[in-house]
Structure 1
């Protein structure tokens, strides 16, 4: 394995990548020596090309353990090395709660991928300290970052986190494409079904539009009759030119597909 370690720093990129591939294959087979070398990539990350480091972290689940926490925190704070997005994901994978303050700082990073990864990691870690900073990211200029923040708040699922999602949905400044807000509010952890039902009567057709979309994603059969009514009756137009009825029709289709898959899964369980 010492030879593999040397190859990981070879000047030839293909040699480096092949050495990493062999090590990852070994880790998948539960090879202890291979896992140890991979851990050395994380603990001594500055000695390795960022490509090797990030590719290794992509499969951290194969070899990671609590001994890597300190090294991941170091990489998370290391602006110069430039792999903070991957370090953030690694901290979430290993449940490194001490990373929360650094991840919150990362929400203001200049790179959108780093901000997105920080949001996702904070959602995984579920620390209530992250709620207000994540809510601020709902105004991020990048849509995929806003979506990551919304889903992180839904993952946390605290009443305060959910209220921020509602405020974003009901705000006159809501993005034209707010599907990620609807998806977040449909998340099981948010416990918002009754409020989504109420929102389909909101005076603002945009709110009714996205509430309908969210209800479809819940897969809850209690929404079927209401969605069918909206699909037939609510022809109000939203900023994109679409109708609330169109959202309800799509939601109804999604809900029925979810219910169909649930019935099939239940049937398979019963026949085992």
Structure 2
């Protein structure tokens, strides 16, 4: 084992962490030996404590490259090591398409963090094969996984992905649908008219979240609709939130988006 890696395998957890931090600092400064050492941690992950491996992957942008594809695929399938959530995220960040089948399988993993990371990675890969598996995760028992699946479908951005998100939005199976509204807003003109129509829905929950989505869309045509809702629609959702309040918040969001746009 190279000399610079030996402190990462010592018996003291604190010293191992400090040694890793030194390597990270050196790599950030352009030290090629430190970059190669961090790659070696990933390539030989079984030689290191999972904490060292996962903390290393959290700095993947410093050293990640195509040479890590094979060891990451091995680690992604390694259930005993217990680091599939971090490995999944790394595969997405590096665009490792060969990981797609394993990532789709991980959408059914018992650990919520692993399911979340698999969603995020499949979104990064724009995996059309994952649309239906991701759609099933829109009913995940964990809200943060449902949110990750929604964002992944928005990342994929296809008509099928939009269909899945809209079906979940219309079903109103969960009262907190902010993640669906945010994901739908990313489809821009493709979903604008549907959202406008939803602001006239008989269910105030639907109107509430449609208003939020219109604000997040950044489409200036939404201002007129949102102004009307803010003034006239004082209905409340099951949680007691007012549609008019959602519209006012959406108008603020719309203004912030336009203020950030280059002139």
Q: Could you state the TM-score of these two structures normalised by the residue count of structure 1?
A: 0.93
CA RMSD of aligned residues (A): 1.4
Pairing 1:51-70 to 2, within 5 Å after superposition: 51-70=51-70
Do the aligned partners of 1:193 and 1:215 also contact (CA within 8 Å) in 2?
Answer: yes
Pairing 1:1-272 to 2, within 5 Å after superposition: 2-173=2-173, 175-188=174-187, 191-262=190-261, 266-267=262-263
| Residues 46 and 253 of structure 1, relative CA distance in 2, 3 Å threshold | same
| Residues 113 and 100 of structure 1, relative CA distance in 2, 3 Å threshold | same
* In structure 2, C-alpha distance between the alignment counterparts of 1:171 and 1:140, rounded to whole Å: 14
Do the aligned partners of 1:157 and 1:190 also contact (CA within 8 Å) in 2?
Answer: no
| Residues 140 and 190 of structure 1, relative CA distance in 2, 3 Å threshold | farther
Unaligned runs of 5+ in 2: none
Q: Could you state the TM-score of these two structures normalised by the residue count of structure 2?
A: 0.96
TM-superposed CA distance for 1:233, in Å, is 1.2
| Residues 127 and 238 of structure 1, relative CA distance in 2, 3 Å threshold | same
- Number of corresponding residues: 263
Unaligned runs of 5+ in 1: 268-272
